[in-house]
Every structure is written in C-alpha cells, then in structure tokens.
C-alpha cells in the first residue's frame, strides 16, 4: 500500500485514483464481514438495537446491545480496577502502548474509514481522512509526551540539599463521550488523551456509532492494555448521563453539542468537589472575504468548508462576510462552484456530499430554508431529486440583511449565510459576537487586513486564504483546535501541544536529600 497516497483534509487536487481503486476492492468484503453482525461486548447487556445506514435507510450496520444502568456501573468499576495499574504506568509503558495502538489503527485504517462512511454517510475522502487523522493523533500525542518527558519538570532548589520536581499525574478514570460526525477521529483523540497520560477510560460512542466504537475497541485490544484500562458502553444520552454522573469517574472528555456539554458542567457544579471537563461544544464559524481577495479561491474555500461532510462539522464555515463591492461576483462564483459538488451515494468515488445524519436535521433544514426564504434571498439549496432519499440536501447559499439566529445558531447542515459589509472592522465585530469561538477564516491579499483579522478575531483556529477549506481541516501537530467562548473553556485545544496536560494534575515533590 506504499504507493497509495495518504488522505488529509487539505491535500486537495492530488490524484486519489489509487485510494479509490483500493476502496473499490475492499467494499464487497467489508459489506459482508463488517456489516450486519450481531455484536456483544461485556458492558452492554441490554436490548439489541438494529442500526441502519443513512445512505439508504435500509442497509443494516449491525445489531448492537445497549448498556443498562448496571452495565455502566460495572464498566466504571472495571476502569477503577484498571486505573490501579495504569495510573502508575511508566512513560515507557505508555509510549510503547501508543506505538502498538498506532500500528493497529494504521493496519485497519481503510476499514475504520469505511465504517464511518456507512455509519454516518461520510464521503470516501472525508472518511479515509479521519482514519488517517486518528493514526497521526496517536503519533503526535506520543511524540509530545516523549519530548516533554511525561511533562515532568525539575524546579528550583531553594536551599541546599533540597530538590523539587513538578510531576504530572493522571486523575484516575475519564469518561469519554464522542459525537457522530467524526466517529473515529474524535473518539481516538479523546481516548488517546486519557490513555497516554495514564488514565483509565470508559468510552461511549454516539448512539448510532457503535460500529466504529466497537472497531476502535478492537484496535485497543490488539494493541494490548492491562485489564480494565479501556471499557466501552453503548447507548443514548441517558447512558451518557449515567456515565458522566457516576461517582467513580474523575473527569469527563466530551465533544458534542453546547447543550449537552453545559449539562455536564452544571452537574459537576452540584458535586461536593467539581471534576475536570475537557469539552469541545460546537461552532458557528465565520469567514471574511475582502475586496482584496482572490475570489475564486475564496469561493472554493468557503464551499469546501460549508458543504464538506454536509456542513456537519463544528468547524464548518456557516456565515461569510463579503465586501459589498465584490459580493455579487463572489456569490456567483460560490454558487457555480457549489453547483458542481456531487451530492449522492457516498460509496461512489466522485461524491462530495452524502446524506445528512438524522431525521431531526432534515426537519430543521426545512424550517431554516423557509425562514431564509422569508427573510432574505436563497441563491441555491433544496433537496436532491435524483432518486435519493429525503436526507440528501443540496449546498444551500442564503443572503441575509441582518444578523439573527441563522447567523448565530449552530445549524449543523449544508447551509451558509452570506452577509455584505462595508467595513471589515464591523464585520469582524459581528463575527466575534457569535456565541461560539472555534474557527474563523479570511481571504485577502492585503497584509494590513490579514493582521487586523489575526489581531481581533475571537476564535481558537484561524486560517487565511485556504482553498482547501476556509475554516476546516485542522490536523494533528499542525492546527491546534482550541475552542473559545461557547465552544470551550479550557483555552487549550486538541491536536496541539497543550492537549495532553489537560488530562493530568500537577504534584510537586520537594525532598530533603540530606
Ligand atoms: C469537529 O467537527 O468537531 O478541522 C471537528 C476540522 C476537523 C475537525 C472537526 N479536523 O475540520
């Protein structure tokens, strides 16, 4: 497979025909062996739930058991016993585990990608991309752990014969709650954060994503960990609530909606002592297109970020502020480029957008579109008609006069709002007023405008002039993914150098040597 190029979110325009040929050869066997199984796992002994693919609403992904309340308690108890060993693992133990896990993920990356494709309707390249990202996450976090000597630091010697060291220790057991949209990468990211720092884990994948969740669990079993260190539970929000409120957990890693994330924070505030929460809670990401922009590049970057994965990314570009002077030109280019993106069955090589995930998204799309028709101008959008089910939505481009809920709420659908501006200052002010603060992008060739954006945009991930994605495409070791404001409170991101220390608590050791 050495001749097959790796897929990242930003290496657009290269020849992926060998990736497609490889996937073509894998798909028939994947459908036979990975789909339609009846799964069992120790901490899910409740009713079996059949899950179908959003691709056609028919193909069974498998039958997955649900965790009962006592399964959740048992999983936490198992993690507590695993933590006794893993909390005291050495740096070498963790690094060699990371190397083994990376190998296991690497060996099964196309299978993991295909699972994400069938499970949530991701296009081929987005799906393989997230599997590749997972491999790189484990590698990058392990390299940070090693380069920082497990984050241990010698401290000042205040008096003779006294040594002081800052040591970073695991909290104990982390609950990891993952979302549907990057079922592999976001799960692997949070699980690796916890495990590489010596914490035990109870992991709950998104309710419809048991398949990828169980495959990830298999890669961890292949990598080998002491018994009880990694545990998986399956189920809906109620199972998540039982897990995050279990007294036996010491912290929560969460990626998902603002509402659910804030619910976890509220719960922690009711406890005798709060516990750490590492949370990424969504986004509503603006891009700015000035009169000094390369408009073709801007249109491509905005379209790729607004419509990739059907707009269901926390990083999706969902509102674009365009200088009035170039607005109609930009909108024409955006509509033209978006019109060429293929909406269809994600199993096919040329598909850019598959179905949206979940019936609720179809309904909220309908109402957002009606609202946009009432309030502004719809340049493109609606439902795909070429024999697809109702969950295939076309790239939707809407122009609105004023800021309102469509420019502020996270919609999680292929829907981008265009707003005209006459002052970049004012536009950035409005973009900053969005309650979330994950990503933002600008298209300009003017260094003063670029500096103004970099100095004033209130978001953790900033991009300039990117055709591969105005606001999307962060990669481990390259773009730390730190959520500001409503997106997150820790001020440190996944994919970056400060991610792992969040799973650790500091202890200073001061020792008189004589
Ligand atoms: C998300 O939707 O929570 O930067 C993550 C990106 C992806 C991550 C999106 N790496 O677009």
Please answer whether residues 174 and 251 qualify as being in contact, where contact means their C-beta atoms are separated by less than 8 angstroms.
yes
127 CA from centroid of ligand 1 (Å): 12
CB atoms within 10 A of CB 484: 21
- What is the CA 39 to chain-centroid distance, rounded? 25
510 CA from centroid of ligand 1 (Å): 42
Residue 236 phi/psi, 5° resolution?
Answer: -95, -160
Crossing angle for the helix pair 210-223 and 109-120, to the nearest 10 degrees: 160
The answer to whether the CB of 187 is under 6 A from ligand 1 is no
What span, in angstroms and rounded, lies between the C-alpha atoms of 93 and 488?
Answer: 31
The answer to whether the CB of 182 is under 6 A from ligand 1 is yes
Residue 309 phi/psi, 5° resolution?
Answer: 50, 35
Point out the ligand 1 atom lying closest to the alpha carbon of residue 280. 3
Point out the ligand 1 atom lying closest to the alpha carbon of residue 314. 2
What span, in angstroms and rounded, lies between the C-alpha atoms of 380 and 388?
Answer: 18
The answer to whether the CB of 472 is under 6 A from ligand 1 is yes
The preferred substitution site among 12, 132, 315 for testing ligand 1, maximizing ligand atoms within 8 Å of CB, is 315
121 CA from centroid of ligand 1 (Å): 16
Please answer whether residues 309 and 119 qualify as being in contact, where contact means their C-beta atoms are separated by less than 8 angstroms.
no
- For 145-249, list the strands marked E by DSSP: 153-154, 162-170, 173-177, 200-204, 230-232
Residue 16 phi/psi, 5° resolution?
Answer: -100, 20
The closest of 452, 66, 78, 172 to 290, measured between CA atoms, is 452
37 CA from centroid of ligand 1 (Å): 29
Instruction: Per residue of the chain (514 residues), give pLDDT as tens.
Output: 668 999 998 888 889 999 999 999 999 999 999 999 999 999 999 999 999 999 999 999 999 999 999 999 999 999 999 999 999 999 999 999 999 999 999 999 999 999 999 999 999 999 999 999 999 999 999 999 999 999 999 999 999 999 999 999 999 999 999 999 999 999 999 999 999 999 999 999 999 999 999 999 999 999 999 999 999 999 999 999 999 999 999 999 999 999 999 999 999 999 999 999 999 999 999 999 999 999 999 999 999 999 999 999 999 999 999 999 999 999 999 999 999 999 999 999 999 999 999 999 999 999 999 999 999 999 999 999 887 888 999 999 999 998 999 999 999 999 999 999 999 999 999 999 999 999 999 999 999 999 999 999 999 999 999 999 999 999 999 999 999 999 999 999 999 999 999 999 999 999 998 8
- What is the CA 198 to chain-centroid distance, rounded? 23
pLDDT score of 1: 62
Please answer whether residues 246 and 71 qualify as being in contact, where contact means their C-beta atoms are separated by less than 8 angstroms.
no
Point out the ligand 1 atom lying closest to the alpha carbon of residue 305. 11
Which residue is closest in CA terms to ligand 1's atom 3? 314
111 CA from centroid of ligand 1 (Å): 20
pLDDT score of 2: 60
89 CA from centroid of ligand 1 (Å): 31
The answer to whether the CB of 312 is under 6 A from ligand 1 is no
The answer to whether the CB of 468 is under 6 A from ligand 1 is no
The preferred substitution site among 120, 179, 307, 474 for testing ligand 1, maximizing ligand atoms within 8 Å of CB, is 474
The answer to whether the CB of 474 is under 6 A from ligand 1 is yes
Please answer whether residues 319 and 284 qualify as being in contact, where contact means their C-beta atoms are separated by less than 8 angstroms.
yes
The preferred substitution site among 481, 482, 486 for testing ligand 1, maximizing ligand atoms within 8 Å of CB, is 481
Question: Beta 285-289 vs 439-443: how paired, if at all?
Answer: parallel
Residue 4: HSE in the Cβ half-sphere, 13 Å Cα cutoff: 15
pTM for the full predicted model? 0.97
pLDDT score of 345: 96
The answer to whether the CB of 315 is under 6 A from ligand 1 is yes
The closest of 479, 480, 436, 433 to 456, measured between CA atoms, is 433
Question: Beta 251-255 vs 277-280: how paired, if at all?
Answer: parallel
Point out the ligand 1 atom lying closest to the alpha carbon of residue 313. 2
The answer to whether the CB of 473 is under 6 A from ligand 1 is yes
Q: What are the Cα distances from residue 226, in Å, to 301, 382, 408, 425?
A: 45, 51, 46, 55
Q: How is residue 78 written in tokens?
A: 């198992």
Which residue is closest in CA terms to ligand 1's atom 6? 473
Spatial CB neighbours of 254, under 8 Å, sequence gap ≥ 6: 176, 177, 190, 244, 260, 261, 264, 277, 278, 279, 280, 281
Which residue is closest in CA terms to ligand 1's atom 1? 314
The answer to whether the CB of 461 is under 6 A from ligand 1 is no
The answer to whether the CB of 313 is under 6 A from ligand 1 is yes
458-477 burial, b at 16+ Cβ within 10 Å, e below that, comes to bbbbbbbbbbbbbbbbbbbe
454 CA from centroid of ligand 1 (Å): 20
The per-residue pLDDT for range 80-120, each reduced to its tens digit, is 999 999 999 999 999 999 999 999 999 999 999 999 999 99
The closest of 432, 405, 473 to 321, measured between CA atoms, is 432
305 CA from centroid of ligand 1 (Å): 10
All domains in the chain, ordered by first residue = 30-281+491-512 (3.40.605.10), 285-474 (3.40.309.10)
What span, in angstroms and rounded, lies between the C-alpha atoms of 320 and 334?
Answer: 11
| DSSP three-state, residue 33 | helix
The preferred substitution site among 132, 137, 314 for testing ligand 1, maximizing ligand atoms within 8 Å of CB, is 314
CB atoms within 10 A of CB 498: 14
**What DSSP assignment string belongs to 95-162?**
HHHHHHHHHHHHHTHHHHHHHHHHHH---HHHHHHHHHHHHHHHHHHHHHHHHTGGG-EE----STTE
């Amino acid at each position: 497979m050495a001749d097959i190029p790796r897929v990242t979110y930003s290496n657009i325009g290269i020849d992926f025909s060998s990736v497609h040929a490889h996937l073509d050869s894998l798909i028939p066997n994947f459908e036979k062996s990975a789909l339609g199984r009846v799964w069992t796992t120790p901490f899910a002994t409740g009713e079996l739930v059949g899950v179908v693919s959003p691709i056609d609403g028919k193909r069974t992904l498998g039958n997955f058991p649900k965790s009962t309340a006592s399964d959740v308690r048992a999983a936490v108890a198992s993690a507590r016993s695993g933590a006794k060993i893993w909390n005291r693992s050495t740096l070498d133990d963790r690094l060699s585990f990371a190397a083994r896990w990376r190998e296991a993920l690497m060996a099964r990356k196309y299978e993991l990608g295909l699972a994400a494709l069938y499970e949530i309707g991701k296009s081929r390249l987005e799906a393989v991309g997230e599997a590749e990202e997972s491999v790189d996450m484990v590698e990058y976090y392990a390299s940070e752990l090693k380069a920082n000597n497990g984050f241990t630091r010698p401290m000042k010697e205040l008096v003779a014969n006294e040594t002081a060291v800052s040591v970073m220790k695991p909290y104990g057991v982390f609950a990891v709650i993952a979302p549907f949209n990057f079922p592999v990468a976001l799960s692997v990211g949070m699980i690796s954060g916890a495990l590489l720092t010596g914490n035990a884990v109870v992991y709950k994948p998104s309710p419809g994503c048991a398949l990828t969740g169980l495959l990830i669990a298999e890669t961890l079993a292949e990598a080998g960990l002491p018994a009880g260190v990694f545990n998986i539970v399956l189920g809906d929000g109620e199972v998540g609530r039982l897990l995050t409120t279990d007294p036996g957990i010491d912290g929560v890693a969460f990626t998902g909606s603002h509402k659910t994330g804030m619910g976890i924070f509220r719960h922690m505030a009711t406890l005798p002592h709060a516990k750490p929460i590492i949370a990424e809670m969504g986004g509503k990401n603006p891009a700015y297109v000035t009169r000094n922009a390369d408009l073709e590049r801007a249109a491509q970057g905005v379209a790729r970020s607004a419509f990739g994965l059907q707009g269901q990314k926390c990083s999706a570009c969902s509102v674009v502020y365009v200088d009035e002077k170039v607005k109609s030109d930009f909108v024409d280019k955006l509509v033209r480029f978006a019109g060429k993106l293929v909406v269809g069955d994600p199993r096919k090589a040329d598909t850019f957008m598959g179905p949206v995930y979940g019936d609720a998204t179809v309904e909220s799309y309908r109402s957002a579109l009606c609202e946009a028709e009432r309030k502004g101008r719809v340049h493109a959008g609606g439902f795909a008609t070429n024999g697809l089910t109702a969950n295939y939505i076309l790239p939707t481009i809407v122009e609105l006069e004023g800021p309102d809920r469509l420019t502020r709420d996270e919609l999680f659908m292929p829907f981008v709002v265009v707003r005209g501006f006459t002052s970049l200052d004012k536009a950035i002010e409005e973009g900053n007023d969005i309650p979330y603060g994950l990503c933002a992008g600008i298209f300009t060739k003017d260094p003063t405008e670029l500096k103004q954006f970099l100095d004033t945009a209130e978001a953790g991930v900033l991009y300039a002039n990117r055709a591969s994605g105005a606001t999307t495409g962060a990669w481990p070791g390259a773009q730390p993914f730190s959520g500001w404001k409503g997106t997150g409170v820790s001020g440190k991101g996944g994919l970056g150098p400060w991610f792992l220390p969040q799973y650790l608590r500091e202890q200073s050791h001061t020792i008189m040597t004589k």
